[in-house]
Amino acid sequence: MFEIESTPELGTELLERWAEAFPTSVDLVAQHVGLPLNPLKSLDSKSLELTHTRLLDIHKLLCRVRPWFNSDKATWEWFINEPLAPFNGLTPSDVVKSYHNGGIEALHEWVDGRELGGFQ
């Protein structure tokens, strides 16, 4: 069984496990984390490295916010659906898609603020 807080596998198996756990397709998970569609079908090492790195970065973010929710599915729903006021109403997924690694860093900084008692 997949759990957000579990240690992710090496490689792109995580993408497939997320698709299975949050019943959706691999392509939709890829879209939500800012990867090209069909990232598993790409054979070049640069695309595979990007996929692996992005998934690990998103995994770290989800692990940080998981205690805020009552389930992994609710955590994922937050990531793809919750508009965040400090990001002009973009969802965390939109922040990642728009700003890539900079977006992930900005979300971590936002989480840092929340953990220190800050508000949106």
Domain extents in the chain: 13-115
Tokens of 62: 């989800």
pLDDT at position 3 = 67
Give, as one character, the DSSP assignment of residue 67.
Answer: G
CA dihedral 76, 78, 84, 87 (to 10 degrees): 10
pLDDT at position 1 = 39
74-80, Cβ contacts within 8 angstroms, sequence gap of 24 or more = 75/4, 76/4, 76/18, 76/22, 79/32, 80/32
pLDDT at position 18 = 83
CA dihedral 36, 25, 74, 67 (to 10 degrees): -60
- Which residues does the chain have with pLDDT short of 50? 1
